[in-house]
Structure 1
Amino acid sequence: MSRKIIYPAASPVTVLLDPADDAAVTRAALAAHNPSAGRVTVHPTPAASARALALDILAALGKPTELPGDWGTQGPPVFNIVGAWILALPITRLTVLRAHLLDEKIWSALLALRLRTGVHLVAVCHTRRPPAVVRTALRDIDHHTVSTDHHVGDLLAKAPTVPPPRRGAQGRWITVPALAYLDSHQDFPDCHCTPPQARRPNVPERAYGIDQLAHRLATRTACPQLVGALATAVFTGAPLTQLYAVRAGDLDAGATTLTLHDRYRTRRPGFVTDCGIFTVPPWARPFLLAAANLVHLSPRGDDSLFSTGLPRVLMSLTDFAEHCRLRPPQPAPAWPRPRTRRKKRAGPPTIQWYNGIDALSCKYVSYEQWLRSAGGESPPA
């Protein structure tokens, strides 16, 4: 691999004793939950396994607990996915309630997560003293024990209020011109040039556009590859085959720039032209960082940034875009519209994706020609 992950220094584990099992302590711990401020509080599922706790942490991070397709069984371990998001967001403190009920396997997974991410682990035990399983797990781990009977500093401090994202357009389709070439069928062989700086393509400029788009990407899947690839397509206009050719080394350490190669020097007016170095917008950096972190936490023998290395275990990127209700510019409907006596009930719209090939003649057609033949308008340059 071209880049090796460096685990951050882990803070000592804090064991917070709450012998009275005070409801106010639990409410305070939950009120301290704020992923945008780097603090996450998890209330584990009763009798949870290590996998169930990992899914609980994903839910606390605002991610769906249902992993797409067969990726949940054939993909990387769930705790690796959790670690990738914790490093990317980043999360600095992880508070786990009812920690005295966790078994040895769960404690082993939690401590491994702490070691890989450097997160400050706060284990809330509703007992007078740490139970035997906790003492055994922390025997060789730097830790300290505090009690709610004394001052616990800012462990239970209330999280600052964060205004919720605008959701007025949550159910609407957002037309993203940069997705026009996403489903284009074209190969992108390896290229090792030093590309010049490239300009950004058109993205939604309406008031809800970018914020709502980023919110949908962050909350519709827990798979870093899917969300990272679609986010990259939004700010680069790259097609699917080019995204799958991106390597982890093409993303710099801070996820501020991403290099895309196009050895064929394909001309797509208004979008990617030749090879280029793109500036990653701030809203997309956590998604790309999570994808890169998962590559390093789960080595698969290659450093492909957006490919899982396992065939047919993820939904297609166009299906995920439709799941997020994102679409490319659509051809205009047929005109005049046929008149019918009975109005049909409107169902989910059929999204048309441009693939660069005329299905009848099997010849390459430009996106402008495809839109023009369907009665649509060309995308803005």
Structure 2
Amino acid sequence: MALAYSDVTVVVDERDDLFYTRAALRAHCPEEGRITVQPTPASGSPAALAHAMLYALGKRLASGPSSPDVWLDSVNAAWLAAASWSVAAGVRHVVVTRAHLLTIRRIDQLLVWREMTGLQLTLLWQKAPRGLPPALAGVERRISSRDQLLELLAEPGPIPARPCFPPAPQAMTGSADVAVVPGQSPARPLRGTRPAAMMPGQRAHPCVGAMATAQLLQATPAVEIASEDAAALAALAHPLIAGALSVVAFTGGSLGSLRWTRDLDITGDVSAIKIHGAGHRHCRLYAVPAWARSLLAGARAHHRLAAHPPGDSVFAPVMLAEARHLRAHAERLPQLNLTALPGSILAP
């Protein structure tokens, strides 16, 4: 029997039939936008369910008392990270097994997270339904057969399985009468060429966003890194740390320059990112390699879910108060040479 309320479905498996658990585990397919979360109710951490969600999304938290992921022990930080990766990955349906073992507080956290992400949530309640908490007591739709359960697990959710990336803008054609290094913004605006959206007589400011810059310049190609290094970066649990270190890896630059990177410095399709130079001279546009697009999408989702405006720095939270965690993760990836963290990023 299954009960549903809005985009939340509770599958009541009073006899704890192994079929339901197996069906839920088989349904796990991140590539199709569906994940299965297996919580660890025995954990005393208030953020344990969010950690289980991150694990299902392919993220791995560093362990140990001095872990650089210790700040994800905060409930709000952990759920924001889980929501960011879910949005970036295009997850549309989450299945949680053995939900009857969760505390009321963790169920409330899960429902708040669902509201934040807007996706479909299915809970396996593997005991009598009389124990349903008030937050789940108002469900209405009932499913009485195994076939209907399988149909529920297969149906599409409310958002796409993959992030919707609009096409990258085509480079503007025109005769610029100054020499430009590929991917690098000039100290002065280009003459003789302008973004299509600009009025006649206007000039592009050298620190306009990445979309406008991409209409004027070709992006600098990304530095190639080994596939195992890309996988190590993709497994980092915090979206801002994963995004920041990936940018340093594929640009060959320093983390210090990321302090000025704004939401609008990442193109809509996450195909290019603009990195600012000192005094905003010689700012450079870089192509984002395929392996890093989901990581930058996660960082941007984190920025937006935290309700920051597009002109704010995306990576500022991890370059100030949490810089020690950023440094610790960089030191755990010595092959990428990411440890050159200028002292200036520690300053407010």
Q: TM-score, normalised by structure 2?
A: 0.68
Q: Which residue of 1 aligns with 2:285?
A: 277
Structure 1 pair 127–324 and aligned structure 2 pair: CA distance change class (3 A): same
Structure 1 pair 154–323 and aligned structure 2 pair: CA distance change class (3 A): farther
Q: What amino acid does structure 2 have at the position aligned with 1:327? A: L
Identify the match of residue 324 of structure 1 among 293, 313, 333.
Answer: 333
- What is the SS of the residue equivalent to 1:72? helix
Q: What amino acid does structure 1 have at the position aligned with 2:245? A: L
Q: Does 1:213 align with 2:222?
A: no
Separation of aligned partners in 2, 1:326 and 1:283: 17
Structure 1 pair 118–130 and aligned structure 2 pair: CA distance change class (3 A): farther
Root-mean-square deviation (Å)? 3.4
Contact 1:88 1:289 in 2 (8 A): yes
Contact 1:75 1:308 in 2 (8 A): no
Pick which of 90-99 and 304-313 moved more: 304-313
Q: Which residue of 2 aligns with 1:305?
A: 314
Separation of aligned partners in 2, 1:229 and 1:69: 15
- What is the SS of the residue equivalent to 1:56? helix
How much does 1:111 deviate? 1.2
Structure 1 pair 105–354 and aligned structure 2 pair: CA distance change class (3 A): closer
Separation of aligned partners in 1, 2:318 and 2:222: 31
What is the CA deviation profile of residues 208-235 of structure 1, one whole-angstrom value per residue up to 9, with x for unaligned ones? x2x323211112x211111101111233
Computing the radius of gyration over CA atoms, which structure comes out larger, 1 or 2? Answer: 1
Q: Does 1:252 align with 2:264?
A: no
Q: Which residue of 2 aligns with 1:203?
A: 223
Q: Which residue of 2 aligns with 1:39?
A: 34
Q: What amino acid does structure 2 have at the position aligned with 1:283? A: W
What is the CA deviation profile of residues 232-276 of structure 1, one whole-angstrom value per residue up to 9, with x for unaligned ones? 12333332211121012222343233222225577xxxxxxx223
Segments of 4+ in structure 1 off by > 6 A? Answer: none
For structure 1, the residue ranges without an aligned partner over 5 or more in a row are: 1-9, 158-189, 267-273, 329-350, 356-381
User: Larger helix proportion, structure 1 or 2?
Assistant: 2
For structure 2, the residue ranges without an aligned partner over 5 or more in a row are: 155-204, 343-348
Separation of aligned partners in 2, 1:352 and 1:233: 10
Contact 1:256 1:285 in 2 (8 A): yes
Structure with higher RCO (Cα < 8 A, 6+ apart): 1
Separation of aligned partners in 2, 1:241 and 1:91: 32
What is the CA deviation profile of residues 338-367 of structure 1, one whole-angstrom value per residue up to 9, with x for unaligned ones? xxxxxxxxxxxxx98598xxxxxxxxxxxx
Contact 2:68 2:328 in 1 (8 A): no
Contact 2:68 2:325 in 1 (8 A): no
What is the CA deviation profile of residues 34-68 of structure 1, one whole-angstrom value per residue up to 9, with x for unaligned ones? 22332211121134565111111111222123462
Q: Which residue of 1 aligns with 2:251?
A: 236
Structure 1 pair 313–354 and aligned structure 2 pair: CA distance change class (3 A): closer
Separation of aligned partners in 2, 1:72 and 1:13: 26
Q: Which residue of 2 aligns with 1:90?
A: 90
Q: What amino acid does structure 1 have at the position aligned with 2:58? A: G
Q: Which residue of 2 aligns with 1:144?
A: 141
What is the CA deviation profile of residues 285-316 of structure 1, one whole-angstrom value per residue up to 9, with x for unaligned ones? 11111111212223479832112167342446
Pick which of 104-113 and 315-324 moved more: 315-324
The percentage of counterpart residues that share the same residue type is 31
Structure 1 pair 82–35 and aligned structure 2 pair: CA distance change class (3 A): same
Separation of aligned partners in 1, 2:328 and 2:126: 45
For residues 32-111 of structure 1, the aligned pairs below 5 Å read: 32-47=27-42, 50-66=46-62, 68=68, 71-72=71-72, 76-111=76-111
Structure 1 pair 128–74 and aligned structure 2 pair: CA distance change class (3 A): closer
Q: What amino acid does structure 1 have at the position aligned with 2:56? A: A
How much does 1:86 deviate? 0.5
Q: What amino acid does structure 1 have at the position aligned with 2:250? A: F
Structure 1 pair 310–232 and aligned structure 2 pair: CA distance change class (3 A): closer
Structure 1 pair 120–313 and aligned structure 2 pair: CA distance change class (3 A): same
Contact 1:14 1:146 in 2 (8 A): no
